[in-house]
Structure 1
Amino acid sequence: MNERTARRWAELPPAAGAAVMATGIISVGFRLTGLETVSRLMLGIAGALWVLLAFDFGTRLLHSRRRWFAEADTPPALTAVAATTVLGVRVALLGWTHLAAVLLAGSAVLWAVLLTAVLTHLRSGMPGGVFLICVATEALAVLGAILTPWAGDWLGYTSLAFFLFGLLLYLAALVRFDFGQVVAGAGDQWVAGGAMAISALAGSKLLATGVWTGVTHTSLRSTTLFLLVVDLVWYAVLFVAELLRPRLAYDVRRWATVFPMGMTAVACLSTSTAAAVGWLDTLGQILLWTAALAWLATLAATLHTTPRRTAASQGS
């Protein structure tokens, strides 16, 4: 591969993984609401995007290694973990447990490598992407919990450990987050709420395993509901901030807005069943369609912007 071709394939930023995350989680949401055909269409798109990004990931490692290592210690690199596990969640819902298990194992290895690098480079005043340290960890907990009935209780206990560790990482991210990003961020500020949403989803999936009973089950249920409430508060604050200070210019980090919106919807739908809170199902369906509209708008902006970006790159 010549230098120009390698450079073109190395142009996708790590944050592009949020497009897979957003598409995959909305696919899950449509599956939970019974819209299987639409859900599978979204799964196909998410799968195609994942293959493209995986190819880019490998090409960059082989031909742009300096850039690969430079980006591996930044929080957006963790979208590779979250994107793979979200895809795993959706294929697990199809009954493809072996494939989901492979995706979980690969994600866990990648998580261990990338998280170690990212944690050593955290600093104060970071944008919303810093919360990906929590998102990637909780994503492993979600997929692990879903596969627990197939793999055994040991995976449930492991997933619980990831769930609790993810909450600690959320606090680590929160103290480093630049709260000014709420009104000035380019899109990834929404991950502050999205991290709570995926944590609540992890809690709901752990409840659904049936591994825990008694006080432990009650504590897990209460924690899940608390996390979901915090997520909904974040959602309201971030939504109002968007209205007060619109940021309409396209940025790839807008996919990191769509993902938390979809994740909040799925967390509501899942928690409604696992924690027996009926009204959350209605809220989840409303939020799911809101996320779907945001997905369409972001996709349109991406398709409108990409040809110009490609032309500029080829001219350089």
Structure 2
Amino acid sequence: MMTPTLLGKRMVAQLFDMSPAYFGMAMATGIVSLAAQRLDMPRIAMALFGLNIAIYGVLWVLTALRLTYYPRQFFADMIDHLRGPGFFTMVAASSILGSQFVVLIADYRAGAVLWGAAIVLWIGLTYTIFTAFTIKQKKPTLDKGISGGWLLAVVATQSIAALSALLAAHIGQPYKLELNFFALSMWLWGGMLYIWMMSLIFYRYTFFLFSPGDLSPPYWINMGAMAISTLAGSLLIINAPDAPFLLSLVPFLKGFTVFYWTTGTWWIPMLLILALWRHVYKRFPLRYDPLYWGAVFPLGMYAASTHEMISALEFNFLGFLPPVFLYVALIAWTAAFFGFVSDLLRRCLPPPPPTT
């Protein structure tokens, strides 16, 4: 039997290589909850909301412990080309949990606190990570240094835009205009960032050797980044009557929101084909990885964003899509959660004694 002291040491040791992208679990749980709320599944939405508060809190405790026990590895991850962008899940998780507080229980104060935390994290991580990538002396080649995980920077940016728009819809002047302008600015910057990064990622796709191991789950963020851009754009369209400068931009907002949605939709068959190539044709093993939360998140976000776009643009003929993707997201979330529990037990419990 393992004593509490040995168990604690074993758990602390596991923090050494804890993925910086583990906040993707809170991102995925939060957006599936929000999609369930929008699609009239309040019990599921509230259950996942309560769970997400716990997940978010525990992840911050684990992050603080990792920083305390392994500061060198923590900061080395931050400036690593493959692991560094995973830190942006902290921003997106904060914004999405803030959106849950706003949408599910109308707690605007908690939403504003998380909005502020997300902005502080976004500023710190954006200028730390990308400055480090720029000035570091030893850099990987493009095929070894970039992945779909880089688009988490886009997701983080757009998550702040979406939460800003949600808060703007529920506060009075003089801050309503400022929040809507801030949401618009972040939405536009997120779109530009996607264009920059996606150009490099697509170039890496098509001009470098691609092995099954290279197709990590964060490549689903290719779609997820466009889905959350669609959500933020839809919220801005809904807010337009209360902000004159948005009202003048409505044709532009509608055009780019549809542009984002169609781009995200294009990625879905492509990613499914590549997943079949990876796991069926190439027989790459399918086992739990914390990065799989980065594949659950886009499914839930596509359901939520499509529903919001239908409301904003009255595209009622697309009404069949959100429920389908919500059910797929719930199945994927359940599979990832059971994988997480199994992996946690395997890591924390002692191995069985050898049979004689």
Pick the TM interval, shorter chain: over 0.9
Partner of 2:25: 19
1:233 aligns with one of 246, 256, 266: 266
2:318 aligns with one of 274, 277, 280: 280
- Identical aligned pairs, as a percentage? 28
Give the Cα separation in 1 of the matches to 2:195 and 2:164.
Answer: 22
Give the Cα separation in 1 of the matches to 2:211 and 2:35.
Answer: 28
Return 5+ residue gaps in structure 2 as ranges.
135-139, 352-356
Partner of 1:268: 306
Q: How does 1:161-176 map to 2 (within 5 A)?
A: 161-176=185-200
Are 1:68 and 2:74 counterparts? yes
Alpha carbons 1:127, 1:181 under 8 Å: kept: no
Alpha carbons 2:10, 2:348 under 8 Å: kept: no
What's the C-alpha RMSD, in Å, of the aligned pairs?
2.3
The alpha carbon displacement at 1:5 in A equals 6.1
How high is the TM-score relative to the length of structure 2?
Answer: 0.82
Higher Rg of the two aligned structures:
2
* 1:250 alignment partner AA: Y
Alpha carbons 2:303, 2:325 under 8 Å: kept: yes
Give the Cα separation in 2 of the matches to 1:44 and 1:214.
Answer: 37
Q: Mark the CA change 1:295 to 1:95 in structure 2 (over 3 Å): closer, same or farther.
A: same
Alpha carbons 1:264, 1:284 under 8 Å: kept: yes
Give the Cα separation in 1 of the matches to 2:74 and 2:61.
Answer: 13
1:155 aligns with one of 173, 176, 179: 179
Give the Cα separation in 2 of the matches to 1:287 and 1:49.
Answer: 23
2:40 aligns with one of 34, 40, 43: 34
Q: Deviations over 1:16-53 (max 9, x none)?
A: 11111001000000000111111000111111110011
* 1:46 alignment partner AA: N
Q: How does 1:90-239 map to 2 (within 5 A)?
A: 90-93=100-103, 94-120=105-131, 121=133, 124-125=142-143, 126-149=146-169, 150=171, 151-177=175-201, 178-179=204-205, 180=210, 184-210=214-240, 211=243, 212=245, 214-239=247-272
Are 1:245 and 2:278 counterparts? yes
Matched position secondary structure for 1:209 = helix
Partner of 1:49: 55
Give the Cα separation in 1 of the matches to 2:260 and 2:35.
Answer: 19
Return 5+ residue gaps in structure 1 as ranges.
none
* 1:290 alignment partner AA: V
The alpha carbon displacement at 1:61 in A equals 2.6
